[in-house]
Amino acid sequence: MALAEAGARGRLLRWPRVLLFGDSITEYSFQENGWGAYLAERLVRKCDVVNRGISGYNTRWAKLILPRLITESTSADSIVAVTIFFGANDSALKELNPQQHVPLEEYAANLKSMVQYLKSVDVTADRIILITPPPLHESAWEKACLAKGDKLNRCNATTGQYAQACVQVARECCTDVLDLWTLMQKNQDFSSYLSDGLHLSTKGNSFLAAQLWSRLENKLSALPSLLPYWRDVDHTNPEASLL
């Protein structure tokens, strides 16, 4: 059978998508032992896990990008889950990092705007997961800043205010939320979750992956595996199994 004929006979194969939208902590999530890679491995043959992490970005910029990533006419119906993971840059101290800093009230409004946009293109609230920024280990991050010739430009107490705002937005918008800032600090030495005081270590990636999977597993468990297991393909008439 010619490939063109096979294509005409078969239905277009469309993988559902899990969209990871965030800053560098999302962008780096496909690195070795990353939390995004963990999800992709768990969902192979069921979903495409799409990394749309953009290092250094804040919610002010992210809300402008989101409508360019998902539109009702082209892609919203294939989205089975979206994570929105911002705050580590928004919470930078204004006087030391004005380019990335976003005021707390605007941060909350931007998150709410993104959730409302997703709902407007029929990505329902039960498919949206907000993730708070992780806690900041100030002494470790200060070393990273000094190595670049900068002063310490973030503090954990301020990051916590942004995390609380994220949780409140999730409550108001009826979405799920992963309060990473609080959960990681249940371990007294939370520095082990961070590689440089801000970004996740291998242990931090594993922690986030486990927490997120516990929320996604129920949402996605009913999704079928795409295409039959190889032993179930009729080798004498593969078209019957595959088209």
Residues serving a catalytic function are: 24, 196, 199
Rounded CA separation 171/162 (Å) = 14
Contact 199, 28 (CB under 8 A): yes
Burial of 30-62, coded b for 16+ CB within 10 Å and e otherwise, reads: beeebbbbbbbeebeebbebbbbbbeebbbbbb
**194 DSSP 8-state letter:** B
Q: How many C-beta atoms surround the C-beta of residue 14 within 10 A? A: 10
3-state secondary structure 71-111: CCCCCHHHEEEEEEECCCCCCCCCCCCCCCCCCHHHHHHHH
Q: Which helix (H) or strand (E) holds 36?
A: helix 35-43
- Residue reference for tokens 């795409």: 226
**28 DSSP 8-state letter:** G
Contact 142, 95 (CB under 8 A): no
Q: At 13, list the tokens.
A: 């194969």
Instruction: Of 52, 65, 49, 61, give the one whose Cα is nearest residue 24.
Output: 52
